[in-house]
């Protein structure tokens, strides 16, 4: 069972325009149960700054958390921060590289914080650090969708008294002793936090169901080679000309349904785990089909149809034509599918540049026309293409797709 400030997450917002106080970054901390947020304007985000805030502002006010989640920045991975976590008996957790969804709570709050600050800063954006306390208070007293309560209520067991409450409303829940006050606050906090845990679990389940509607299992197996998306570039090189996909790497271990451990071509173990969203299958260029020669190449033989002998091609009723929308390629000997179904001649095109469709993956409507994502036979799923409905000649593919969607 998770309690308040048992699990905290930290992230950095910035760099922002330097303020008149010399601040350039915002160090953001969030509690996973109450969604209570703490923000600190700082001039730098080096490891000593992070360690000082962790000890002086988080530990001394809320106690030592059991787990501390952050991204893989060098400041969070430093020996100083690891030593502070060891002294506080706090387990340090790191997000998967280039996958900020792991720390979604802080990432979403960063967007809210940036939008709120933009409403108040001056034209030079040099006073944003002056508005952090007011923006934080407004966030803390606002109910969260996932918990159903405000962070202030989940942490203190009561809603804050605003100036209007003090002026117009009489005091309520008066306690005649410290013991009664303690009992009332403890009861309210326990009830509120239990309800928040239940609401968070329901919200997570709902988000999982929505994600699973479009999600598919990662198509990777141990031993396969893959590319890895790594957008970082060396200093002095243009970001626009950088290589985004690197490899090939070999998958050596599957840590979870979406996390993998890789090795390089020379069998060195990659230090960090890789999320499936950053991976794609590796295809050797030598295994790709060879494109026809360019017509302008003088070194290539190029004959017109009129130059070919009459008996150099098969007759028009030949059974070796290529199917564009048949589920399985027809038998070349008898013109039938493997299940014995004759091939409809209306489903056969005479053009040489056609491919066999294996199945329909998705559907969409664009510019008022229905389109379908077609998985081609003998081609990887990454090379599927969107085709208009009129190009789907085999209506069995459409029937099978719609029956699976219902």
**Average pLDDT for 175-204:** 71
314 pLDDT higher than 60: no
The 3-state DSSP class for residue 307 equals helix
Residue 358 has pLDDT above 60, yes or no: yes
In angstroms, how far is CA 130 from the centroid of its own chain?
A: 33
Instruction: Note whether 136 and 56 are same-domain residues.
Output: yes
pLDDT over 90 at 43, yes or no: yes
Tell me, yes or no, whether 302 lies in a domain: no
Cα–Cα distance between 183 and 187 in angstroms, integer? 6
**Does one domain contain both 183 and 256?**
no
Most confident of the following: 30-44, 172-186, 190-204, 350-364: 30-44
Q: What is the mean pLDDT of residues 161-165?
A: 70
- What pLDDT sits at residue 332? 41
331 contacts 337 by C-beta, under 8 angstroms: yes
Residues 80 and 209 in one domain: yes
- For 95-127, the pLDDT digits (tens) are 776 665 665 677 788 888 888 888 888 888 888
Q: What pLDDT shows up at residue 247? A: 79
Q: Is residue 144 part of a domain?
A: yes
Domain of residue 208, CATH code: 3.30.420.10
If asked whether residues 360 and 251 sit together in one domain, one would say no
pLDDT above 70 as % of the chain: 73
CATH number at residue 365: 2.40.50.40
Query: Helix 132-140 and helix 104-118: axis angle, to 10°?
Result: 120
- Give the chain's domain count: 3
- Do both 51 and 183 map to the same domain? yes
Q: Are residues 192 and 109 in the same domain?
A: yes
pLDDT surpassing 60 at residue 326: no
Half-sphere exposure of 390 (CA within 13 A, CB side): 1
* pTM, to two decimals: 0.50
If asked whether residues 334 and 269 sit together in one domain, one would say: no
Do 252 and 204 lie in one domain? The reply is no
C-alpha distances out from residue 285 to 220, 288, 289, Å: 20, 5, 9
Lowest mean pLDDT among 62-71, 76-85, 180-189, 251-260: 180-189
Cα separation, 179 vs 185, in Å, equals: 10
204 with 248, same domain: the answer is: no
Spatial distance between the Cα atoms of 97 and 79, rounded to a whole number of angstroms: 19
Average pLDDT over residues 264-288: 79
User: 219 lies in a domain?
Assistant: no
CATH number of 266's domain = 2.30.30
The residue segments making up the domain with residue 350 are 321-405
Question: What stretches of 30-162 show up as alpha helix (H) in DSSP?
Answer: 47-53, 60-62, 79-87, 104-118, 132-140, 151-156
Q: How much of the chain exceeds pLDDT 90, in percent?
A: 12
pLDDT of residue 54: 92
Q: How far is CA 58 from CA 31, 186, 320, in A?
A: 10, 22, 73
């Amino acid at each position: 069972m998770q309690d308040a400030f048992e699990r905290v997450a930290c992230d950095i917002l910035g760099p922002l325009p330097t303020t008149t106080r010399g601040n350039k970054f915002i160090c953001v901390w969030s509690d996973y149960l109450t969604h209570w947020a703490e923000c600190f304007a700082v001039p730098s985000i080096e490891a000593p700054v992070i360690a000082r805030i962790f000890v002086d502002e988080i530990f001394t006010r809320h106690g030592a958390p059991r787990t501390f989640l952050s991204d893989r920045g060098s400041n969070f991975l430093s020996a100083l921060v690891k030593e502070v976590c060891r002294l506080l008996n706090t387990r340090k957790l790191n997000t998967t590289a280039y996958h900020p969804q792991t720390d979604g709570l802080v990432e979403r709050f960063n967007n809210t914080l940036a939008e709120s600050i933009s409403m108040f800063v001056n034209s030079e954006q040099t006073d944003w650090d002056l508005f952090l306390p007011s923006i934080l208070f407004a966030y803390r007293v606002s109910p969260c969708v996932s918990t159903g309560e405000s962070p202030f209520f989940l942490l203190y067991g009561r809603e804050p008294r605003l100036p209007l409450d003090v002026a117009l409303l009489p005091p309520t829940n008066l306690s005649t002793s410290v013991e009664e006050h303690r009992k009332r606050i403890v009861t309210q906090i326990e009830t509120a936090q239990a309800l928040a845990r239940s609401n968070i679990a329901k919200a997570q389940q709902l988000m999982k169901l929505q994600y699973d509607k479009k999600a598919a299992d990662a198509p990777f197996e141990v031993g396969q080679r893959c590319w890895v998306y790594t957008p970082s570039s060396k200093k002095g090189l243009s970001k626009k000309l950088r290589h985004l996909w690197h490899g090939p790497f070999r998958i050596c271990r599957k840590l979870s349904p979406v996390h993998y451990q890789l090795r390089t071509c020379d069998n060195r173990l990659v230090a960090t785990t890789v999320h499936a969203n950053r991976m794609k299958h590796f295809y050797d260029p030598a295994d790709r089909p060879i494109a026809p020669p360019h017509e302008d190449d003088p070194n290539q033989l190029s004959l017109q149809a009129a130059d070919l002998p009459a008996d150099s091609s098969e007759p028009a009723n030949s059974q070796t034509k290529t199917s564009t929308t048949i589920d399985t390629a027809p038998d070349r000997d008898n013109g039938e599918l493997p299940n014995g179904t004759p091939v409809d001649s209306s489903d056969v095109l005479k053009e040489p540049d056609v491919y066999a469709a294996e199945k329909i993956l998705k559907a969409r409507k664009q510019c008022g026309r229905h389109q379908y994502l077609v998985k081609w036979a003998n081609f990887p799923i990454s090379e599927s293409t969107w085709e208009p409905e009129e190009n789907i000649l085999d209506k069995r593919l459409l029937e099978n797709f719609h029956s699976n969607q219902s």
